[in-house]
């Protein structure tokens, strides 16, 4: 496959940014809304993404890659506990739009493809590294295994979204959860 021309790369980036915003707000949004927000024609959208499902998978992949990259960036932080909890906060805060995109993908009759699954696996691995660093630093309980902590991340994300928690309520919920994860003094 030939590399995209600069204008085509710019269009693709604008389409992905617009799609993330549009579908992150409403799983029932249309590709016409994406084209309008991206300031491109609908044909341009379909030239890059022949189906709505392909567009949604690309958006989901970009979101997961961005989270993976953020976790990798935070792994270099001097305070591993702060890095772990900052990432947990970010995932929960952004969950509503991510879940809306995943719902839209399901409604389009598709599921996460290989790229999205690979990005998700990379994000989980980077999250596991943050957890391990925080545990080695003595800031997260050593008996908090990855599967349970990852389930807490998913549960907090889905719960905050389903209950439509206001940010201050979400923060109080996370403070309670973090109290159980932190090493006891």
Nearest-angstrom CA–CA distance, 154 and 78: 26
Domain extent, residue 140, equals 52-181
Same domain for 145 and 88?
Answer: yes
pLDDT at 8 over 70: yes
- Residues 28 and 67 reside in one and the same domain: no
Specify the DSSP class assigned to residue 30: -
Q: What is the pLDDT of residues 84-94, one digit of tens each?
A: 999 999 999 99
Stretch 121-141: mean pLDDT, rounded? 97
Contact between 21 and 31 (Cβ < 8 Å): no
Residue 101, class by beta-carbon neighbours within 10 Å (0-12 exposed, 13-18 middle, 19+ buried)?
buried
Asked if 79 and 166 sit in the same domain, the reply is yes
In angstroms, the Cα distances linking 157 to 38, 93, 108, 137 are 28, 8, 23, 25
Q: Are residues 10 and 84 in the same domain?
A: no
pLDDT top residue among 113 and 140: 140
Q: Residues 29, 61: one domain?
A: no
Q: What is the CATH number of the domain that holds 104?
A: 1.10.357.10
Does pLDDT of 104 surpass 90? no
CB 67 within 8 A of CB 123: yes
Helices first, then strands: H and E counts in the chain: 9, 0
If pLDDT is split at 50, 70 and 90, which confidence band does 2 have?
low
- What is residue 138's predicted lDDT score, i.e. its pLDDT? 96
3-state helix, strand, coil in the chain (%, to 5): 75, 0, 25
State both tokens at 64.
């997961």
**Same domain, residue pair 46 and 56:** no
Same domain for 64 and 44 = no
CA 29 to chain centre: 19
Residue 3 has a pLDDT of 67
pLDDT at 4: 61
């Amino acid at each position: 496959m030939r590399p995209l021309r600069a204008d085509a790369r710019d269009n693709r980036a604008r389409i992905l940014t617009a799609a993330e915003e549009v579908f992150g707000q409403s799983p029932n949004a249309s590709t016409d809304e994406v084209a309008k927000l991206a300031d491109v024609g609908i044909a341009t959208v379909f030239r890059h993404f022949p189906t709505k499902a392909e567009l949604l998978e690309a958006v989901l992949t970009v979101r997961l890659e961005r989270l993976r990259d953020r976790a990798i960036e935070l792994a270099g932080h001097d305070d591993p506990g702060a890095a772990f909890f900052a990432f947990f906060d970010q995932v929960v805060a952004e969950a509503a739009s991510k879940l809306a995109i995943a719902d839209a993908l399901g409604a389009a009759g598709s599921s996460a493809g290989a790229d999205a699954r690979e990005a998700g696996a990379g994000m989980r691995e980077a999250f596991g590294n943050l957890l391990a660093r925080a545990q080695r630093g003595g800031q997260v309980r050593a008996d908090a295994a990855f599967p349970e902590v990852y389930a807490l991340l998913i549960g907090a994300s889905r719960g905050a979204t389903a209950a439509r928690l206001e940010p201050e309520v979400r923060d109080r919920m996370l403070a309670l959860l973090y109290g159980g994860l932190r090493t006891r003094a």
